[in-house]
A and B are shown apart, each in its own frame.
Chain A
Amino acid sequence: MLLSEMKEGQTGKIKNIGGNGALHRRILEMGILKGSEVYIEKYAPLKDPLELIVKGSHISFRVEEASQITVDNVK
């Protein structure tokens, strides 16, 4: 499942991070790695970007960027 397909209030585990080098590195810098647990806090009022919580930090992603990340164990 793609991160961008998750709904508000769901949790999941990062399975794979795609995207170009710049995006990938930035995601790593923010502490999002394979195996990290993410919680979808909310989508912005205009449905893009989305806000997720990883290890206690709130990070925002564009839907387009979130679609580069696959997740599993979605609950």
Chain B
Amino acid sequence: MERKKLTIALAGNPNSGKTTIFNNITGSRQKVGNWPGVTVEKKEGNISRFGYDLTIIDLPGTYSLTPFSIEEIIARDFVVEECPDVVIDIIDASSLERGLYLATQLRETDCKVIFALNMADLAKTRGIKINAEKLSELLNVPVVFTVGNKNEGIDALLEAAIKLAESSSEVPQKRKVRYNRDIENSISKLQSLIEQKIADKLSYNTRWTAIKLVEDDEIVKKRILDNARDSAQDILNEAQSQRSYLKHCFGDEPEIITASERYGFIAGIIKEVHAASNKERVDISRNIDLVLTNRFIGFPIFFLFIWAMFQATFSFGAYPMEWIDMGIGLISSGLDGFLPESLFKDLLLNGIIAGVGSVIIFLPNIMVLFFCIAIFEDTGYMARVAFLMDKIMHLIGLHGKSFIPMLMGFGCNVPAIMAARTLESEKDRILTILIIPFMSCSAKLPIYIVLAATFFGVKAGNVIFSIYLIGIIFSIITGRLFRLTILTGADAPFVMELPPYRVPMLKSLLIHMWDRSKMFFKKMGGIILIGSVVVWALSAFPRNIEYSFDYHGEIEKIESSYESEIKADNVDNKILKKKKDADILEITRAQRAEQVEKSYMGRIGKSISPLFLPIGIDWRGGVALLTGFVAKEIVVSTMAVLYAAEEESDALKNALLSSGMTPLSALSMMTFVLLYLPCLATVAAIKRETGSFKLMFFSIAYNTSVAWFIAFCVYQGGKLLGA
């Protein structure tokens, strides 16, 4: 027998613990994708419980169902268009009143709603008592207490949800918000008009539609126009006249009146179900904030956290990096012995394994970075970051919230650009998106690590830190410049909640980290693989190169000379053999370097080298930077090939040191890498998120010219100073 399928949507305020409950219900069986047409994350999980196949959808966290931000539109569209079998509204028990605001709006739609009063334990310690039975009775909604992070009440919640989905009873209409008489009049006039003219063409609840028309809801108006062209205009005209009448009555926008009345309705419920004892409560969050957003030490602590994050990235990442390095070495040498010499072997070893290998090795770094960012998010510290930084961000013409996507930019620009969607104003969003490429992403990190470790030794950490700082400074300059020139206008409201601090759950930190690292993995599988192969092909062809030196003959000469020596002297056999291998390796490396120099890649590099010369980068560095357009991760592997070094870090280090590169030119190259054109995936994300090719090309041109100019200043300035 086929099992019954049910769709359950999770709705709720931001910080209500929705995601924790979602993670607890679905565990690892979740799918992260995008909502159709937009890039807001859609989380979905399929599980089997109590004999049902359940599809759980995590809606974006919202405070209301008014279509302000993209998140709110998505959440509402899903509820009214897709009609899930049950909507679980997750309410933070400590802020019941605000939670009920969203709840009353959900109840105005046609769907079946169940309340989860989450973090009930926390509310209890704060002296809050909620009479769930009374609440359930007053609103005619099943209510379940849950403690998301302890996995308490989750089974009861699912059970109640299934029971509600299976109950055939109509959604009761009585226990909903009643507005004042004037508004109710307007609602019922519009409602009967809707029922007469377009009820068969519109699937929405008619009362809900009428309320939305009173509130001048753009999206509902558009849906009506799309679905019922002829009669739609009558309805919209009537809505307009009702609105101007109501505005005249109350001297305020009708949507403000409905919002206030919803709160009035809620206040009545709160009085009956909610008791807060007046005892002096222990509020750990407030105490933490006494320190973390303190006037004097708030900023130093913030910078300490950021510094610690990058330090952790390097030190904890180092061990697994070694293991991966060893693993790749084993695979590579194993295949080397196993496969016969061929073009395919060359492609596999020098193209695919070398290219992808040099990227996969930085996976530990990236995972640690994403883990740290997940800690910031899950503890609630991210909101404090916005609180601390808003004044500064506002000076650049940005919102404090922009800081969060910008900080994520340090991980990967692509999700960071997507995160810019949390900004309500279009201008803020575009500006944030244009600035994010200056946030040095984790893919650029390998390049800094190689260059800084080679040329700055123990000071490498400090050098890398200042590179990041330069990126931040340039984002500020760029923000101010753009605000004054291409993106002028008013700012979006800042008003934002500072949620209580929470101990993060390891499970959800790991899920967060894994989701984002997966994006990195996917990039590696696709774009970087193709990029590595293209780079390999450009440097492996043409095959018939005329060498300036008879390498083959030289190798034979060495072999035969050692052969006779070994024969003559039987004692030091091993030492001689080693010496022979080293001599041969040197010759093959020289041959490889010349081969690359004469390849297509080398020819391209040499023809554009005049551009890179003034900034202290030789043709090999230039080629490596060019290949970085595909993905920044490739830069290091290209350098490894062009400097004819093996994949281990020491070899590349030595090759770089003997290539004539100086600490100054390394610094210039790092600044160039920091600022120059974003990678293919980022460029694509910019196009998708701004919807404009013009802005995409602008971003590429702006970044690259700034990068060249600054690298020029660093290199030429440094030379003048005698560095």
Contact = CB atoms under 8 A, between A and B. Distances in A.
A65 B387 contact: no
A29 to B, nearest CB: 4
A45 B255 contact: no
Contacts of B101: 29, 31
A9 interface: no
Interface stretch (B44-52, B91-99, B713-721): B91-99
Interface in B599-657: none
B545 to A, nearest CB: 62
B27 interface: no
A49 B64 CA distance: 23
A31 B97 contact: yes
Contact of B388 (A21, A41, A45, A61): A45
B95 A28 contact: no
A60 interface: yes
Contact of A28 (B128, B260, B294, B497): B260
Contact of A22 (B98, B126, B295, B492): B492
Nearest to B255: A25
Interface string A33-45: 1100000011111
A13 to B, nearest CB: 15
Contacts of A51: 289, 293, 387, 498
Given A44-B387, A55-B97, A62-B390, A29 B493 contact: no
Interface residues of A, number: 33
A23 interface: yes
A49 B391 contact: yes
B394 to A, nearest CB: 7
A31 B95 contact: yes
A47 interface: yes
Nearest to B252: A24
A57 B495 contact: no
B256 A45 contact: no
B392 interface: yes
Given A21-B255, A29-B259, A31-B101, A65 B495 contact: yes
Given A41-B286, A57-B95, A58-B497, A49 B390 contact: yes
Contacts of B259: 25, 28-29
B63 interface: yes
Interface string B298-314: 11000000000000000
Contacts of A49: 387, 390-391, 400, 494
Nearest to B92: A57
Contacts of A58: 285, 289, 497-500
Contacts, number: 118
Nearest to B253: A21
B263 interface: yes
B296 interface: yes
Nearest to A27: B495
B541 interface: no
Given A28-B256, A56-B95, A22 B496 contact: no
A25 B299 CA distance: 32
B260 A60 contact: no
Contacts of A41: 286, 289
Interface in B492-541: 492-500
Interface in B352-399: 383, 386-388, 390-392, 394
B66 interface: yes
Interface string B394-427: 1000001000000000000000000000001000
Contacts of B316: none
A42 B293 contact: yes
B68 interface: yes
Nearest to B500: A58
B629 to A, nearest CB: 39
Contacts of A46: 388, 391-392
A25 B101 CA distance: 12
14 contacts: A22-B424, A23-B493, A25-B68, A26-B495, A27-B495, A33-B260, A42-B293, A43-B295, A45-B299, A45-B388, A49-B494, A56-B276, A62-B495, A65-B494
Given A60-B386, A62-B495, 4 more contacts: A29-B259, A34-B260, A45-B388, A56-B95
4 closest A-B pairs by beta carbon, nearest first, are A46-B391, A58-B498, A31-B98, A29-B63
Interface of A: 19, 21-31, 33-34, 41-49, 51, 55-62, 65
Interface of B: 63-64, 66, 68, 94-95, 97-98, 101, 126, 128, 253, 255-256, 259-260, 263, 276, 285-286, 289, 293-296, 298-299, 383, 386-388, 390-392, 394, 400, 424, 492-500
